[in-house]
Structure 1
Amino acid sequence: MTGLLVVTAVPAEAEAVRAGLPDADMVVVPVGVGPAVAGAATARLLALAEAAGRPYQGVVSAGVAGGFAGAVAVGGTVLGTRSVAADLGAESPAGFIPVDELGMPPELLGGGVAIAADPDLLATLQSNLPEATVGAVLTVSTVTGTARSTEELRRRHPDAVAEAMEGYGVGVAAAHAGLPFVELRTVSNPIGPRDRDAWRMREALAALTTAAAALA
């Protein structure tokens, strides 16, 4: 049996995680950007490990995220209570309709529009990262870039503290494999009007290295 599978979007995030991991029994893999490629790649990694007789014990979606102002500061660490497919649904004259309210059978939703973190894994990370902000992490295919869309996300998901692009896809893969899952993020920028110059990627990656040590 192998330890945790830690998946990131890009190599820089994977390198930051590896720098903080004291346990060589963990596998860290950059799988790509967005929920579709992240979910597909994670599912393949889990299937290959199981077929080889070395299944993983759990899955972590890790990396950099945007944080909601007032919930978490730039450079802060976030632990996801659940990973939410925030833009999966339909538009209507009355506003956005989440996919689980469109009348589709639950079995077609891959575990629902939110994948809950494993309570034991989350509790362990909370114990090891007492300063981390805990709340929902939104998975989006289009990064939020206006004040209006930011407020709309806040209204629909009042427990959300951050947004990223892979967590829900990774969580679905873990759920289908019957494995514990959690999302770990560090914040590079506030969610809102897009200002690339305000991003603090170096600080977020350094925080990710520090936070990764908690995975032990």
Structure 2
Amino acid sequence: HRSVRGVLNLGVAGTFDVLRAPLGSAVLASAEVWPEYGLAGDDGVDPQGIAFPQAEGPAGPVWDRIDLAPEVLLEQWHLAMPVGARSGVALTVAGVSGTPARAQAMCRRHSPLMENMEGFSLALACLRHNLPFAEVRTMSNIVGSRAAEDWALEGALDALGALARELFLTD
């Protein structure tokens, strides 16, 4: 739609680091990474291995990472910065990291703070249409764990509702 001036993506995500991003806390995506794009080999995925970037960005070809500036966009849109929110890399995956080994491998390779399932595609669509994009998520689970005590989806959704109200209350 031609009247769209930007996209603010709100949602829940898993945390890779409960000390920096505890369950229920808010994280602004400083970058979106798609770790599954490229040529898969024994040492992981090489995003440039197939030689087809996904887009051209202001800094050149976009392979598997889109850097974001959430603080700048929130200020431009006159939205309040969520109190206590951290900033960190978001990892978009097709399948949730269901084991500690998978979570550790993703941490070693990409240094993410959170894991989601759609952020990169939204960021890429905005990049392709030259639209500003920001993403804020509340932490609902610990990445790599399927244990019930490491999940707090209801609390994360409650925190997301509070965060959404807070974003739109500026001075």
Coarse TM-score class (shorter-chain normalised):
0.7 to 0.9
CA distance in 2, matches of 1:208, 1:183: 12
The one of 158, 168, 172 equivalent to 2:124 is 172
| 2:131 equivalent to 1:186 | no
Following superposition, the deviation at residue 97 of structure 1 comes to 2.3
The answer to whether residue 101 in structure 2 is matched with residue 139 in structure 1 is no
Give, in angstroms, the shift of residue 145 of structure 1. 0.8
Q: Retained in 1: the 8 A contact 2:28–2:86? A: yes
Superposition map of 1:52-67 within 5 A = 55-67=3-15
Contact kept, 8 Å, 1:75 with 1:186, in 2: the verdict is yes
> Is contact 1:75–1:187 with CA below 8 Å preserved after alignment?
yes
Q: Distance in 1 between matches of 2:123 and 2:26?
A: 19
Match of 1:162 in 2: 114
Root-mean-square deviation over aligned CA pairs:
2.1
TM-score (norm 1): 0.67
Decide which of 102, 109, 117 is 2:49's aligned counterpart: 102
For structure 1, the residue ranges without an aligned partner over 5 or more in a row are 1-48
Bigger fraction of residues in helix: 1
| Residue equivalent to 1:8 | none
CA contact (8 A) 1:83 1:183 kept: no
2:46 and 2:155 mapped to 1: Cα distance?
A: 34
Separation in 1, partners of 2:141, 2:82: 20
Of 150, 155, 158, which aligns to 1:206?
A: 158
- Of structures 1 and 2, the one scoring higher in RCO (CA 8 A, sep 6+) is 2
Which aligned segments of 4 or more residues in structure 1 are displaced greater than 2 angstroms?
122-127, 195-198, 213-216
CA–CA separation in structure 2 for the residues paired with 1:59 and 1:174: 7
Paired positions, count: 159
CA-to-aligned-CA distance 1:148-204 (integer Å, 9 cap, x gap):
11111110112x110000000011111111110011110111111322453211110
Give percent identity, aligned residues only: 31
* Contact in 1 for aligned 2:82/2:167 (Cα 8 Å): no
Query: For residue 32 of structure 2, what is the aligned residue in structure 1?
Result: 83
Cα deviation, residue 104, structure 1 = 1.1
